[in-house]
Amino acid sequence: MTLLDENIRAQLREVFTELKHPVKIVFFGDETANCEYCEDTRQLLSEVADLAPEKIIVETYDLNANSELAQKHRVDKAPGFVILGVRGGEILDYGIRYAGIPAGHEFTSLINDILNVSRQDSGLKPETRQALKNLRYPVSMQVFVTPSCPYCPRAVILAHQMAMESDLIEAEMVEALEFPQLADQYGVSGVPHTIIKVQKSNNQSGFEEVVGAVPEKNLLEAILQAAQPA
pLDDT tens figures, 172-197: 999 999 999 999 999 999 999 999 99
Average pLDDT on 79-84 reads 98
- Check residue 204 and give its pLDDT: 85
109 has a pLDDT exceeding 70: yes
Q: What is the CATH number of domain 126-226?
A: 3.40.30.10
Superfamily of domain 6-119, CATH level 4: Glutaredoxin (3.40.30.10)
Q: What's the predicted TM-score (pTM) here?
A: 0.96
Residue 203 and residue 185: Cα distance in Å, rounded?
22
Residue-averaged pLDDT of the chain = 96
Residue 41 and residue 82: Cα distance in Å, rounded?
13
Asked if 78 contacts 39 with a C-beta cutoff of 8 angstroms, the reply is no
Burial of 14 (0-12, 13-18, 19+ CB in 10 A): exposed
Domain boundaries, given as residue ranges, for the chain? 6-119, 126-226
